[in-house]
Amino acid sequence: MSTSDDLIVGIDLGTTNSLVAYADERGPMVLRRNKDDSGLLPSVVSFDPSTHRMVVGDEAKLHAVERPLTTVYSIKRLMGKGFSDVTQEIRHLPYRVVRRPSREEGRDLPAVEINDRLYTPPEISAMILKTLKELAEVHFGRPVLKAVITVPAFFDDAQRQATRDAGRIAGLEVVRIINEPTAAALAYRLDQKKESTIAVYDLGGGTFDVSILRISDGVFEVLSTHGDTALGGDDFDREIIGVVRDEIEKQYHVRIESPATQQALRTLAEQLKIRLSHESEAKFEIDIGSDRRYERVIRREEFESLIRSWIDKTIDCCRAAIRDADLEIGSIDQVVMVGGSTRIPYVRRRVGEYFGRQPYTAWNPDEVVALGAAVQASILAGKTSQMLLLDVTPLSLGIETLGGAMSKLIMRNTRIPARATEMFTTFVDGQTSIRINVLQGERELAKDCRSLGVFELSGIPPMPGGIPKAEVTFLIDQNGILNVSAMEVRSQQAAGIQIIPTHGLTPVEVEAMVVESYAHAREDMTAHQMIDLRNQVTFETTKAQDMLDKVGHLLGESERRETETVIRTLRELAKTSSQPKEIQQARADFARKTVRLAEIAMTESLKTI
Ligand code: ADP
Ligand code: MG
């Protein structure tokens, strides 16, 4: 149990979304209101126009349409800025931002005006921080008084100070302000490196930045940073809206003007974009009044061409950042993905291609900054020594195979980096996808191991069972990040997943899992053998039945019946018996009694050549 004193949370105070995280010996985790909650709090504050009562987050976001003047979003853009710095910015904001005279000569500050009352940007941010603080207090059941808060690397002193002020107003002692890219690197524990150069690519809702970090002996230095404060996921939504709006206007000769319809378009466009991150096409549907309904399928390729020029711009920024850091692209050791928009497969592909290496996406990109802030918090609280940091894999890693067995590719206590490859196949005819369940643990059955993640290798052309060859590769890099990839050899279809294998386990739990595996070793072995044996029986009896269907008429009547019986008997026994010996005996009997069938089938097949 920790005391309030060493309870420090990590907070990502974002332009679009904010979240709070905490790290203990299981590693960092995002705090959520309940198990269905994403943990993401929209950075939006909405005031009731008459009472000043305010709401924060999802509820506030819902009010954006009907209360444009009293719903405040993107406040981060105003933090720590003078009024004259933001005159451009505030033209795009529906709420009122006014000049607030300051004692400092020549530095008037912006303030948000809500029903005749003025709120400073730190005051608005404090409402978001307070909501996160309360969420954490519900989680821990006691006061939370300290936080590490992240800011963009390019934030100047005034912007950092404004962030500290926001914390103080919310009742939090800001024990440290850290850079968002540094936090992202900390989440992956890249601070453990002696020397390393890292690129952090952060594509959020409304902003993009890329930073080049240098780590030496656990100390981070920002070598360069580049970006565009008006480039992000919102632009991708607008591209979709553009297409849809043009078509609706052409097709129905109506203009879309009402704010409510525009907001509906925005919401639908964002949902469609998010669906396209895991589906190859998605449908846009909207009622446009008078019983008319506009429907349109957008394919992933079309979406990719809509956002191509935006992504080109981000790559240009990467190039500029590398140049400013006086580096060559080859000297980047790691690329870390941050921001909700890096969930888009096209973005991952382009960044991977540009840097010539697979970027890190094992942590959710919209959570990774908060998780890293939590890691920093736990370092400050003196707690990191309890976290698992290893140069060997503490538990075996593998995949689930037919019948629920665990097939290990990398054994426990293997030194990292490590790599293993194995071939798998399908059993069913015409199977066009293979589900790959990545497992961790020492037990022999999948159900007794920890599932680290699941992915689907799809698009395999239909072939008879046993013919497709799926090459599964496990690669644990020097930072302990596991990449699992699968490729079907004939069709070259590939898929993969990235995972942090030790996440969520304490050293004590790891030890317990190993000890438990010893206790069950014998029964587990038998269970695994049974699965293998049953798979074998399925394979052999299916083959025999095939032959019987084809050439059975060439056997005598009684012989054919006897063969049918022996196939059925073996199948039944494999299902019901738990005695490997008994099944082996039946298998031997089956083999003897199907010799003639096999011979005839062979002769027949030779004839057809
Ligand atoms: P910020 O750092 O600006 O506060 P986030 O990192 O939370 O914002 O990113 C928000 C953006 O990510 C939004 O534009 C949202 O639509 C986008 N986004 C979230 N999930 C996905 C997804 N699965 N596919 C594509 N875009 C996504
Ligand atoms: Mg962010």
For residue range 52-101, list pLDDT tens digits in order: 899 999 999 988 888 889 999 999 999 999 999 999 888 888 899 999 87
Q: Which atom of ligand 1 is nearest to the CA of 206?
A: 3
For residue range 463-500, list pLDDT tens digits in order: 887 888 899 999 999 888 999 999 999 889 999 999 99
Contact 547, 598 (CB under 8 A): yes
* Whether 531 and 465 share a structural domain: no
Is the residue at 37 inside a domain?
no
Q: Residue 484: helix, strand or coil by DSSP?
A: strand
Phi, psi of 593, rounded to the nearest 5 degrees: -80, -5
Structure token digits, residue 190: 């890249």
Q: Residue 427: helix, strand or coil by DSSP?
A: coil
* Whether 538 and 447 share a structural domain: no
d(CA 583, CA 578): 8
pTM of the model: 0.87
d(CA 67, CA 47): 8
Task: Classify each residue of 539-564 as buried b or exposed e, where b means 16 or more C-beta atoms within 10 Å of its C-beta.
Answer: ebbbebbebbeebbeebeeeebeebe
The count of domains in the chain is 3
- pLDDT reading at 260 higher than 50: yes
Query: What is the pLDDT, as a whole number, of residue 144?
Result: 97
**Higher pLDDT residue, 386 or 344?**
344
Side-chain-side CA neighbours of residue 158 (13 Å):
11
Is the residue at 156 inside a domain?
no
For residue range 93-135, list pLDDT tens digits in order: 889 999 987 777 667 899 999 988 999 999 999 999 999 999 9
Structure token digits, residue 343: 């969930």
Degrees to nearest 5, angle at CA 255 with 249 and 259: 125
Residue with tokens 């037919």: 402
Tell me how far the alpha carbon of residue 568 is from its chain's centroid: 47
**CATH number of the domain to which 297 belongs:** 3.90.640.10
Contact 111, 127 (CB under 8 A): no
d(CA 562, CA 171): 83
Looking at 306, 340, 363, the residue that finishes a domain is: 306
Ligand at shortest distance from the CA of 267? 1
Phi, psi of 221, rounded to the nearest 5 degrees: -135, 135
Pocket test for ligand 1, best of 18, 150, 211, 274 (most atoms within 8 A of CB): 274
For residue range 527-569, list pLDDT tens digits in order: 888 888 888 888 888 888 888 888 888 888 888 888 889 899 8
Q: Residue 408: helix, strand or coil by DSSP?
A: strand
Looking at 289, 306, 323, the residue that finishes a domain is: 306
d(CA 45, CA 37): 19
Q: Residue 88: helix, strand or coil by DSSP?
A: helix
Q: How many other C-beta atoms lie within 10 A of the C-beta of residue 157? A: 8
Q: Which atom of ligand 1 is nearest to the CA of 14?
A: 4
Query: What is the pLDDT, as a whole number, of residue 2?
Result: 47
Residues in the chain: 609
Q: Whose CA is nearest to atom 23 of ligand 1?
A: 274
Q: Residue 579: helix, strand or coil by DSSP?
A: coil
* Whether 540 and 441 share a structural domain: no
d(CA 246, CA 258): 16
- Gap from CA of 136 to ligand 2 centroid (Å): 20
Which DSSP string do the residues of 155-215 spell out, in sequence order? --HHHHHHHHHHHHHTT-EEEEEEEHHHHHHHHTTGGG-SEEEEEEEEE-SS-EEEEEEEE
- Gap from CA of 339 to ligand 1 centroid (Å): 6
What are the strands of the beta sheet with 450-457, ordered from one edge? 405-410, 397-401, 434-440, 450-457
Degrees to nearest 5, angle at CA 213 with 208 and 216: 165
**CATH number of the domain to which 601 belongs:** 1.20.1270.10
Q: Which atom of ligand 1 is nearest to the CA of 40?
A: 7
Contact 497, 438 (CB under 8 A): yes
Q: Which residues pair with 436 in a beta bridge?
A: 455
Q: What percent of the chain has pLDDT over 70?
A: 97
Is the residue at 555 inside a domain?
yes
Is the residue at 463 inside a domain?
yes
Closest CA to 473 of 551, 584, 535, 398: 398
Side-chain-side CA neighbours of residue 374 (13 Å):
23
* Whether 458 and 546 share a structural domain: no
Q: Whose CA is nearest to atom 22 of ligand 1?
A: 274
Which residues surround ligand 1 with Cβ inside 6 Å? 14-17, 204-207, 232-234, 270, 273-274, 277, 339-341, 343-344, 366
d(CA 593, CA 540): 13
d(CA 545, CA 69): 74
**CATH number of the domain to which 462 belongs:** 2.60.34.10
- pLDDT reading at 1 higher than 80: no
* Whether 448 and 538 share a structural domain: no
- Gap from CA of 95 to ligand 1 centroid (Å): 23
Peptide bond between residue 101 and the one before it cis (omega within 30 degrees of 0): no
- Gap from CA of 16 to ligand 1 centroid (Å): 8
Is the residue at 296 inside a domain?
yes
Ligand at shortest distance from the CA of 14? 1
Closest CA to 222 of 190, 198, 188, 257: 198
Which residues contact residue 454 at a Cβ distance below 8 angstroms, ignoring those fewer than 6 apart? 435, 436, 437, 438, 497
Degrees to nearest 5, angle at CA 143 with 140 and 149: 90
Q: Whose CA is nearest to atom 18 of ligand 1?
A: 340
CA quadruple 574, 576, 578, 581: dihedral, nearest 10: -50
Range of the domain at 266: 233-306
Mean pLDDT of 203-228: 94
* Whether 466 and 424 share a structural domain: yes
Structure token digits, residue 350: 């382009």
Q: Whose CA is nearest to atom 20 of ligand 1?
A: 340
Mean pLDDT of 139-164: 96
Least confident residue range of 153-167, 287-301, 437-451: 287-301
Is the residue at 381 inside a domain?
no
Mean pLDDT of 278-284: 93
* Whether 491 and 580 share a structural domain: no
Q: Which atom of ligand 1 is nearest to the CA of 234?
A: 14
* Whether 498 and 529 share a structural domain: no
Is the residue at 136 inside a domain?
no
Query: What is the pLDDT, as a whole number, of residue 554?
Result: 84
* Whether 460 and 527 share a structural domain: no
Looking at 260, 281, 306, the residue that finishes a domain is: 306
Degrees to nearest 5, angle at CA 270 with 269 and 273: 85
* Whether 407 and 496 share a structural domain: yes
Is the residue at 526 inside a domain?
yes
* Whether 488 and 549 share a structural domain: no
- Gap from CA of 373 to ligand 1 centroid (Å): 19
The residues annotated as belonging to the active site are 12, 76, 180, 202
Residue with tokens 């990545």: 438
**Higher pLDDT residue, 6 or 164?**
164
* Whether 454 and 529 share a structural domain: no
